[in-house]
Amino acid sequence: MKNLHKPVKKAVFPVAGLGTRLLPATKVMPKEMLTIVDRPLIQLAVEEAREAGIEEFIFVTSDGKEALMQHFQDAPALMENLQSRKKLDQIAKINKVDLPASALKSVKQDQPLGLGHAVWCAKDLVGDEPFAVILADDTVLGEESCLKQMMTAYTKTGGNVIASCEVPMEDTSKYGVFKLADRDGNIFSVSGLVEKPDPSVAPSNMTIFGRYILQPEIFAYLDKHETGAGGEIQLTDAMAKLINDQPFYGYVFEGERLDCGSELGFVKAQIAFALKKPHLAPEIISYMSAKLKESIL
């Protein structure tokens, strides 16, 4: 019997997308480099992975995404400038960003064939090990990061663990949806998965959120390059087939879900993260209160 409780030390970041929902901001700038207050989306995702114990970071990129790798690499000229000006706070921030060269890997996704294809592109770098997948668009603001919560659940369940959140039933056609078997607190057993079902046939309103812990056997199904919803290679479809061979669990995370890939979600994230910063919160609250009064008047 295969050990389905092996520690998870690798994470895949599918960052090859064009970010069309945020054009024109993303015409040249990778959407993952857009900042939430003072940190790019990709940095928030990597920090989450680090907190969860990840040691190897695999970026699935495309042309024009060089800035993503550069952000986590040494910047000698910048550091020399900061040191000469004794900018100790800024130096400390930069030091937290840098990753060892051996920890940062990348692979190209030459064609936008879907999330399943993006994950498949990382197959050789993942190898025969369990791994996490983090979608940088989706962010959770809470006391403990989403992936760290999932890692705690994984130590109990093993197998495959997928982050989940509840949505209105009429929105199920936008998400991958779980068919639930049974539930114990924040963890539920999964008996099936459906990609973007019509609300009339959706098995539940518990949907997939952009965090996954997967066993490497998923690649056997992704190898087939079968297309699903939208004519793309869907990760959900491969997981739905792996359910027949391995246990799957949904994890209902604690914290505020923020979809930073949309205009409204991006603005909400700016406000939510700014309010967590003591040096910004009072001014933000004062400004928002004034604007609310103006709108009422």
Q: What is the DSSP string of 161-191?
A: EEEEEE--GGGGGGSEEEEEEEEETTEEEEE
Residue, of 232 and 119, whose pLDDT is higher = 119
Distances (CA, A) of 271 to 78, 199, 287: 29, 32, 11
CA distance 107 to 59: 6
Q: pLDDT, tens digit, for every residue of 182-222?
A: 888 899 999 888 888 899 999 998 899 999 999 999 999 99
CA distance 219 to 259: 27
Residue partners of 177: CB distance under 8 A and separation at least 6: 193, 194, 195, 196, 197, 202, 203, 204, 205, 206, 207, 208
Give the confidence band of 4 by pLDDT, cuts at 50, 70, 90: confident
Give the percent of the chain with pLDDT over 70.
Answer: 99
Q: pLDDT, tens digit, for every residue of 96-140?
A: 888 888 899 999 998 888 999 999 999 999 999 999 999 999 999
Torsion of CA 117, 149, 144, 33, to 10 degrees: -10
Q: CB–CB of 131/150 below 8 Å? A: no
Going along the chain from its start, the domains and CATH numbers come out as 10-261 (3.90.550.10), 265-297 (no CATH)
Q: Which residues pair with 165 in a beta bridge?
A: 207
Q: The whole model's pTM is what?
A: 0.92
User: What is the average pLDDT score of the chain?
Assistant: 91
CA distance 53 to 205: 31
pLDDT of residue 287: 93
Give the confidence band of 297 by pLDDT, cuts at 50, 70, 90: low
What is the rounded average pLDDT of the residues 162-181?
Answer: 90
CA distance 247 to 293: 53
Helix (H, G, I), strand (E, B) or coil at 287: helix
Helix (H, G, I), strand (E, B) or coil at 160: strand
